[in-house]
Amino acid sequence: MTTFADIMTLLLTFFVLILSFSTMDVERYKSIAQALQSSFGLQAMNPLNIIPSDNPPRTDNLVDPIKPKPNTEEGEEQENKQLETLGNRLETNFVDEVEKGLVIIERDEDHIIIRFPDDAAFKSGSDWLEPQMVPIIQKVADIVSDYDMYTIVGGSTDNQPINTERFRSNWDLSAARAVSVAHELTWMSDLNEKYLYVVGNGDARPIATNATPEGRSKNRRVEIILMERDTSSKRQVFQGIQQIPTYQ
């Protein structure tokens, strides 16, 4: 019995030692794993994922990576430079046309306006372009297609009502004239039609008084409005159009 009891005691001691060797100190392992993660910056391969979920590691000390902010000032400067370059190029290439009164070029810090007066581009009550204007408009398209621009073609009339077989109102006439110019802009040019807008204003956006023949003549026109395609700005195209000064 003494020998048997001695053997049982030794066996019990042996199994206790084995059990003690196989037991993991979880808290100690957590601290070691966190130290390694902090030292090596490991996030995708997180060794703490194998720790039981009943006591997950704290992440209070983890800091989100800093993302660089876009340089909006540099972007605006580049856009203004593009607009200025295009304006200079248009004015240089249309010196003769401007002197003859076939084209009017105006610009500010946000827009370039290429204006075709009614008496030079269309006959009274017609939406057919005069032949002399076709090469001018195609030349405009060739230049503008080299730049990232919104192109808005807007037709406008005076406040004298019209009602013919073809045009029910000034809305119809102004829209048809804008479409005629848009067709010539896109004919045999690389102008991106995705950023082309055609607008019929009727008599809603005058630039002069309709009380005089001279003012009404100025209001009968088709304009090509050029604006930067600014992806960083939330400004809509028609918000940009509304910023263009009109006669009050």
- Contact yes or no for 150/228 (Cβ under 8 A): yes
Q: How far is CA 215 from the centre of its chain?
A: 36
Distances (CA, A) of 36 to 32, 42, 56, 118: 6, 8, 16, 77
- Please give the helix or strand (H or E) that residue 210 lies within, else none: none
CATH class name, domain 72-242: alpha beta
Centre a 10 Å sphere on the Cβ of residue 73 and count the other Cβ atoms it contains: 8
Domain boundaries, the chain: 2-50, 72-242
In the 8-state DSSP scheme, what is residue 212?
A: S
Instruction: Answer whether residue 114 shows pLDDT above 90.
Output: yes
Residue 222 has pLDDT above 70, yes or no: yes
User: Is 183 in a helix, a strand, or coil?
Assistant: helix
Write the pLDDT tens digit of every residue in 72-108.
Answer: 455 455 556 889 999 999 999 999 999 999 999 999 8
* pTM beyond cutoff 0.75: no
pLDDT at 58: 56
Query: Position of tokens 């808290």?
Result: 27
- How far apart are the C-alpha atoms of 170 and 235, rounded to whole Å? 29
* pLDDT one-digit tens code per residue, 123-171: 989 999 999 999 999 999 999 999 999 999 999 999 999 999 999 999 9
| Kind plus residue range of the DSSP H or E element containing 35 | helix 26-40
Of the two residues 5 and 28, the one the predictor is more confident about is 5
Residue whose structure tokens are 């008599």? 203
Angle at the Cα of 158 from the Cα atoms of 154 and 164, rounded to 5 degrees: 90
In the predicted structure, residue 226 carries a pLDDT above the cut 90 = yes
Q: Which two tokens stand for residue 96?
A: 């003769």
Element (H, E) at 223: strand 221-228
